[in-house]
Amino acid sequence: MSFGAEPSLGERCFCAKLANMTRMGTHRFVQLDVFTEQPFAGNALAVFPDGSGIPEHEMLRIAREMNLSETVFVLQPKPAQDESPKALRRLRIFTPTRELPFAGHPVVGTWNLLAREDVVPKPDSGTGWTRIYQELGIGTLPVDIEFEDGGIVQVVMTQGKAEFGTVLEDAHEQADLVRSLGLAPEHLNENLPIQVVSTGMKFLLVPVRALADLRNCRINAALLTEIYIRHGATGCYAFSQETIEVGESRAEFLARVRGEQFRLRRVARWHAHHQEGGADGYGAACESTRH
């Protein structure tokens, strides 16, 4: 599945040096705001454009120190073992608690940055598309980047094959789920299933009737985490099919991001480390695949 975006990095792009007591040296990183045109909005991301000198056992510690939803370490690809296309770079993606095999906004944000830093070859005319391949925990996947006059227009990522898993049908478990979201059973959209869906990582998708109900979600993180982990998911993605603006050709949805609201195709993500996430390309792709 492909997921396209115009991943503006806002006006915020910090560069710094990182050093620690293990004397692993200094390593440049860039902090980005993805899926936004405003500084300090969207979904924050830290990227180490050259993570080759960082010891593997230090990556999780660094991500924990960053304390962002994800931190990406860009590495040279491993030698191809099969007929997969040759990857331009390998991405290792970490939350503050663990490594992820795949994620959405870290891929889009990282390749936006790498294209700006001339890692990605541009079309000869400066305008057109470039396809590259990236190595992730789930395998080698393409990324398509559009340029115009040498500048980036958009990044389109291809996700893994969609897999549809467990449907949560037990009435008692559904009651616990809506309680973990601070809602009532009547707030669920009964025309759609509560289901685990994956295009690389498993998410529990929860259909909610109205945007007003979605805005009123009050999360019981411990209970919600217990429920989605029980079903093998890595997060929960609550969504509504209600549009924000009547008459638009593309349905847009409300996202709740750290207490603020903005428009997205789908809605909110909660990470396993009990933090509500920002705009999320991977979770949105799971949701749009299912519905």
The pLDDT of residue 16 is: 53
DSSP 265: S
| Nearest Cα to Cα of residue 46 among 30, 27, 22, 26 | 30
What percentage of the chain has pLDDT greater than the value 90? 56
Whether 70 sits among the annotated catalytic residues: the reply is: yes
Which phi and psi angles does 111 have, rounded to 5°? -75, -25
Could you tell me the pLDDT band of residue 82, with boundaries at 50, 70 and 90? confident
- Tens digit of pLDDT for each residue in 157-175? 998 888 999 999 999 999 9
| Nearest Cα to Cα of residue 187 among 162, 164, 218, 212 | 212
Cα 264 to the center of its chain, rounded Å: 13
Q: Is pLDDT at 245 greater than 70 in this prediction?
A: no
Token pair, residue 145, equals 């980047």
Q: How far apart are CA 237 and CA 181, in angstroms?
A: 11
Across 159-223, where does the E strand assignment appear? Answer: 163-167, 195-198, 202-208
User: Is residue 261 helix, strand or coil?
Assistant: strand
Angle between helices 221-230 and 171-180 (to 10 degrees): 140
CB atoms within 10 A of CB 151: 12
The amino acid occupying position 181 is L
Q: Do residues 74 and 49 make contact, with C-beta atoms less than 8 angstroms apart?
A: yes
The amino acid occupying position 186 is E
The pLDDT of residue 127 is: 97
Q: Do residues 195 and 168 make contact, with C-beta atoms less than 8 angstroms apart?
A: yes
Q: Do residues 236 and 206 make contact, with C-beta atoms less than 8 angstroms apart?
A: yes
- Tens digit of pLDDT for each residue in 184-240? 999 999 999 999 999 888 899 999 999 889 888 899 989 999 999 999 998 888 888
- Tens digit of pLDDT for each residue in 251-289? 333 333 333 333 332 333 444 444 444 545 444 544 444
Could you tell me the pLDDT band of residue 17, with boundaries at 50, 70 and 90? low
Token pair, residue 57, equals 């056992």
Q: What is the mean pLDDT of the chain?
A: 81
The pLDDT of residue 7 is: 45
Buried b (16+ CB within 10 A) or exposed e, 241-258: bbeeeeeeeeeebbbbbe
- Is pLDDT larger for residue 14 or for residue 75? 75
Q: How far apart are CA 99 and CA 107, in angstroms?
A: 14
| Nearest Cα to Cα of residue 271 among 40, 61, 98 | 98
- Is pLDDT larger for residue 65 or for residue 248? 65
The pLDDT of residue 262 is: 31
Range(s) within the chain of domains with CATH label 3.10.310.10: 2-158, 163-290
Across residues 88-103, what is the average pLDDT? 94
CATH number for the region 163-290 comes to 3.10.310.10
Across residues 84-89, what is the average pLDDT? 92
Spot the catalytic one: 58, 65, 70, 83: 70
What percentage of the chain has pLDDT greater than the value 70? 75
Q: Is pLDDT at 1 greater than 50 in this prediction?
A: no
CATH number for the region 2-158 comes to 3.10.310.10
Q: How far apart are CA 2 and CA 143, in angstroms?
A: 9
Could you tell me the pLDDT band of residue 6, with boundaries at 50, 70 and 90? very low
